[in-house]
Amino acid sequence: MKRFAISILVVLLSFSSLQAKEVPSAGAMMFDAVAIRPLGVGSILVGSTIFFVALPFSFFAPSPLESLRQTSNRLVIYPVRFTFQRPIGDFPGYMEEIEYVEE
């Protein structure tokens, strides 16, 4: 029984570090709300415009659906996630890892 209790305690203590999260400072939150979020809205507008201009050209790509997916992700989806879905003052981790495409 003692061995079981110790093993449960070890397992519970090993998972407690996974829940720790750094809280952003008030300055970082204000900077995000005043400067970065409006820039994010601007990047959504510019990215959407570029996406619609580039839309007809993506149909001439070797794989049009993949080209359309990559273009929409980079120009529209990521700015929307950056602006509206991340917590205020939280900057790291809003983009996916860099994908290397082999031809």
User: What is the residue-level pLDDT of the chain in tens, covering all 103 positions?
Assistant: 778 777 776 766 666 555 556 788 888 889 999 999 999 999 999 999 999 999 998 889 899 999 899 999 999 999 999 999 988 888 776 555 555 555 5
pTM of the predicted model over 0.85: no
Beta-carbon contacts of 48 under 8 Å, excluding residues fewer than 6 positions away, are: 75, 76
Instruction: Please report the pLDDT score of residue 101 as a whole number.
Output: 58
Task: Report the distance separating Cα 76 and Cα 38, nearest Å.
Answer: 15
CB count within 10 Å of CB 62 equals: 7
